[in-house]
Amino acid sequence: MTFEEAHVLIKQTLPEKRYIHTLGVVETAERLAIQYGEDVEQARLAAMLHDYAKYFDIEEMRQVVIEEGLDLNLLQYGDELLHAPVGAVLLARQYDLDQAVLSAIRNHTTGEPGMSRLDQILFVADAIEPNRNYPGVELLRAEAAHSLEAAVVATLKQTIEFLLKKSVRIFPLTIETYNDFVNTP
Ligand SMILES: [Fe+2]
Ligand SMILES: [Fe+2]
């Protein structure tokens, strides 16, 4: 699948606001890929497609988790987690896409221990793209300017703190990713 094909698909799939967010993620992922020496085309493609399943029917997404043997924990930690892994599965079914691109899409919400540099770029780009405006986003932007890993850790910390403050459950993979990254010298 080319970037332009992905662009057409996303423009017709996502509502305006999410489409604008997506363009911000594309721009940011491209910038980070250049800065950190990763594949720019893969970064742009993964960014364009990352929220593909964001507004899909929740019951259908839960069904995909079961059918595909994905982590059943996904059914118990809030529906917000579904669109990344389910989006990757649905895109892989319909289009020819590199595993590296699918991995970045799959991991963009929760992270994953040992995630690739491309995964990290999308994970951070999704959090700091120019349309994002929440307390702490400037700190993440500052971290991303000097270290991709530091930006991943800071993003994970903010995610976990946000969930703690809301007194909601924290997906184990996110905690595992945090542990993995802070243990890396
Ligand atoms: Fe997302
Ligand atoms: Fe997103």
What's the fold here for domain 3-182? Hypothetical protein af1432 (1.10.3210)
Query: Token pair of 177, please?
Result: 């990713």
What spacing in Å lies between the alpha carbon of 61 and ligand 1's midpoint? Answer: 14
* CA of 129, nearest ligand number: 2
Where helices occur in 74-116 by DSSP H, the ranges are 83-94, 99-106
H or E segment and range at residue 72: none
* CA of 87, nearest ligand number: 1
Stretch 121-130: mean pLDDT, rounded? Answer: 98
For 26-64, the pLDDT digits (tens) are: 999 999 999 999 999 999 999 999 999 999 999 999 999
Query: Token pair of 175, please?
Result: 């905690």
Q: pTM of the prediction? A: 0.96
- Domain residue ranges in the chain: 3-182
The whole-number pLDDT of residue 185 equals 56
Confidence grade of residue 183 (pLDDT, cut at 50, 70, 90): confident
